[in-house]
Amino acid sequence: MTNSEVGEMNPLDLVAALQQPLFTLLGTAVSWTEVLGFGSGALCVWLVARQHIANWPIGIANNVFFILLFTQAGLFADAGLQVVFIVLAGYGWWTWVHGSSRTQPLPVRRTTRVEWLVLAACGVLGTAAITVLLDTATESTVPFWDALTTALSLMATYGQCRKRLESWWLWIAADIVYIPLYAYKGLFLTALLYLGFLALCVRGLIAWRRDVVEAPVVVAV
């Protein structure tokens, strides 16, 4: 495809071109969206582990690629989740820049008991609600697993935005489900990407653990 042809393409043509097969892996066609999602996703997680602010714009680009990929694969909750991720990325980006003092970056802290209770309640209710929605309103073949990974990912993203150490454990739990789910849907390159995510999440957990700042203990007088 020449540069002039790219310039003349409208957005729908560009989307169609990105969804065209690029090569075949294990008998399954791999599209440009999956390849670009693979690269941007790996770079994003690596940047998060290093607490680099550039993880947020790279992550937004990754979300756009995955919207196209998951819609095509029939993973509707995961596709919708990417839209939420884009909104949360804006919040996380702002928080990392402005959430602490102007001279110090936002510190890594542990998730509080209240946060865990709220996250657990939202996770259970969210999984149940999304499962019912997918089962009744879409053609999803994996409504529960799609819903579960969506809930875990949202919980983890909240923790990432606030630099909570345990957000890595939530990402690890989500990745353990994502890997076989994507393989089942024939997205083998994405399954491989999430295997890499799993390794990066372990690395990120170790790196953030060294930087944990314990919350001050308030003593009643």
Q: What's the angle, vertex CA 41, arms to CA 56 and CA 57, rounded to 5?
A: 20
Task: Answer with the residue of higher pLDDT: 11 or 43.
Answer: 43
Say whether pLDDT at 73 is over 60: yes
Rounded-to-integer distance, Cα 85 and Cα 82, Å? 5
Say which range, 6-15, 184-193, 194-203, 205-214, has the weakest mean pLDDT: 6-15
Residue 9 has pLDDT above 80, yes or no: no
What is the pLDDT averaged over residues 19-24?
A: 57
Phi, psi torsion values for 112, nearest 5 degrees = -75, 165
221: tokens are 């007088």
User: Is the pLDDT confidence value at 6 over 50?
Assistant: no
The percent of residues in the chain predicted with pLDDT above 70, rounded, is 80
**How far is Cα 34 from Cα 193, in angstroms, rounded to an integer?**
10
Instruction: Give yes or no for residue 48 having a pLDDT over 50.
Output: yes
Alpha-carbon span 81 to 87, nearest angstrom: 10
**Token pair 């879409």 is at which residue?**
138
Judged against a pLDDT cut of 80, whether residue 132 lies above it is answered with yes
Mean pLDDT across the chain: 81
Which of the residue ranges 75-79, 131-135, 193-197 would you say has the lowest mean pLDDT?
75-79
pLDDT > 90 fraction of the chain, expressed in percent and rounded:
29
